[in-house]
Amino acid sequence: MNPQALEQALASLPVEDFQLGFADTGASLVQTGPSDVLLTTGFPCASMADSYSEAIAAALPEPCTVRVETRVEPHRCQNGMPALDQVSNIIAVSSGKGGVGKSTTAVNLALALQAEGARVGLLDADVFGPSQPVMLGVPADTRPEVLDGKWFVPVTAHGLQTMSMGFLVGEDAPVVWRGPKASGALQQMVAQTRWQALDYLVVDLPPGTGDIQLTLAQRVPVAGSVVVTTPQDIALADAIKGIEMFNKVDVAVLGIVENMAVHVCSNCGHAEHIFGKGGGERVSVRYGVPLLGSLPLSRGIREQADGGLPTVLAAPDSAEAASYRRLARHTAARLATRPGAPRAFPAVTSA
């Protein structure tokens, strides 16, 4: 087949309704046999592979079988920092204020990226209020294994490699630290955890724009950030502060997530915008950042997270899980449009 036909087919196809083309995300389309074509995407998309394959086949001038595979590469981090040796991309999930569902969004985003075919880790960076161990159903007495007196072995939960301050202190023990010590704990959990070949490390940040966020921006290579908000005006005002903060420290804002956007009554099906309507879209337009997704206000999402089995796992065929998987694809596709970055060389020590 004419290589130009492959190039034209790739250039003509949008990625779902994300206002992105496959060519924008670094995808490639090559002929691997007389009637076989390989689409290589830069983001995980297992649930959409058949749909993508059919779209590519329809755009080609000759009948072909189209196979889809994914190759996730490291992308540019702030100030040109190289990616970590075993972590291709760190995605920070933040919120300007508490109570907007950031941690629930982070854990479901991580699980959705995994469900789409990526190798994923989850770092609970909310040092003072770690919640991921509970959301992942990890027993309260779980402690990470320590290698050579220095390295934490991630705790595996539902296939995710995880680390949290909740694994290092008692379930009810408060962390009473000043900012510098908390920042040091974040650096230790990032750098001294033996992550293994991750495509994405999702970092669940504490709310606000304080020491932890600044430490992350200054010391940890972050490929992109996601800002979670609700449509409520006060939440949007704080989300804007988060966007401005990431812009100032050269961390790419991949987009915003509008959580609790609409409530659908379980009895009558009536949809109601309890916290307002369209706020996420207004912020998206004002700051030129994508609206990555709008998620519902759902009792099931809350109950599933509280029960240690988040929605993507507890109800994989539900509309809510589909929304999280779409969010994961959109987030990863946006990251795939970023320039590539080198990976840091591993430390070399003498025997």
Q: Mind giving me the DSSP string for 281-337?
A: HHHHHHHT--EEEE----HHHHHHHHTT--HHHHSTTSHHHHHHHHHHHHHHHHHHT
Lowest mean pLDDT among 39-43, 97-101, 260-264: 260-264
Say how far apart CA 105 and CA 108 lie, in whole Å: 5
Largest CA distance in the chain: 68
Band the pLDDT of 304: cuts 50, 70, 90: very high
Q: What is the mean pLDDT of residues 145-156?
A: 92
| Strand, coil or helix: 66 | strand
Query: How far is it, in rounded angstroms, from Cα 107 to Cα 137?
Result: 12
With a CB cutoff of 8 Å and minimum separation 6, the contacts of 128 are 174, 175, 177, 182, 206
SS3 content of the chain, % helix, strand, coil (to 5): 35, 20, 40
pLDDT confidence of residue 255: 95
pLDDT at 170: 59
Of 350 and 265, which is predicted with more confidence?
265
Is residue 41 within 8 A of residue 68, CB to CB? The reply is yes
Q: What pTM was estimated for this model as a whole?
A: 0.92
Are β-strands 120-124 and 87-94 bridged in parallel, bridged antiparallel, or unpaired?
unpaired
d(CA 125, CA 141): 19
The pLDDT of residue 274 is 63
DSSP secondary structure code for residue 197 in this structure:
S
Class of domain 78-336: alpha beta
To the nearest 10 degrees (0 to 180), the angle between helices 102-115 and 299-306 is 80
Rounded to whole angstroms, the Cα distance separating 122 from 9 reads: 36
Looking at per-residue pLDDT, the higher value among 141 and 170 belongs to 141
pLDDT at 185: 81
3-state secondary structure (DSSP) of residue 80:
helix
Q: Please give the pLDDT value at position 224.
A: 97
Q: Residue 178: what pLDDT? A: 62
What the block records as the tokens of 117 is 């075919």
Residue range 319-328: mean pLDDT, rounded: 96
d(CA 287, CA 48) in angstroms, rounded, equals: 29
Question: Phi and psi dihedrals of 281, rounded to 5?
Answer: -65, -40
pLDDT of residue 141: 87
- At 281, the pLDDT band (50, 70, 90 cuts) reads confident
Closest by Cα among 95, 328, 132, 326 to 232:
95
CB-CB contact of 229 with 100 (8 Å):
yes
Distance, C-alpha 265 to centroid of its chain: 29
Q: Would you state the pLDDT for residue 350?
A: 36
Residue 348 has pLDDT above 50, yes or no: no
173 CB-near residues (< 8 Å, 6+ apart) = none
279: helix, coil or strand? Answer: helix
2 pLDDT band, cuts 50/70/90, is confident
115-134 per-position pLDDT tens digit: 999 999 999 988 877 889 99
In this prediction, residue 351 carries a pLDDT of 35
Residues of the chain with CATH 3.40.50.300: 78-336
175: pLDDT strictly greater than 80: no
pLDDT of residue 17: 93
pLDDT > 90? residue 285: no
Angstrom distance (rounded) from CA 276 to CA 123: 31
pLDDT, one tens digit per residue, over 232-265 is: 777 778 888 889 999 999 999 999 999 887 766 6
- Helix or strand holding residue 8 (H, E): helix 3-12
Confidence at residue 152, expressed as pLDDT on a 0 to 100 scale: 93
CA atoms within 13 A on the CB side of 161: 21
Query: Coil, strand or helix: which one is 116?
Result: coil
Closest by Cα among 145, 98, 93, 99 to 120? 93
Q: What are phi and psi of 33, to 5 degrees?
A: -165, 180
Question: In the structure encoding, which two tokens stand for residue 208, read together?
Answer: 């606000």
pLDDT of residue 344: 65
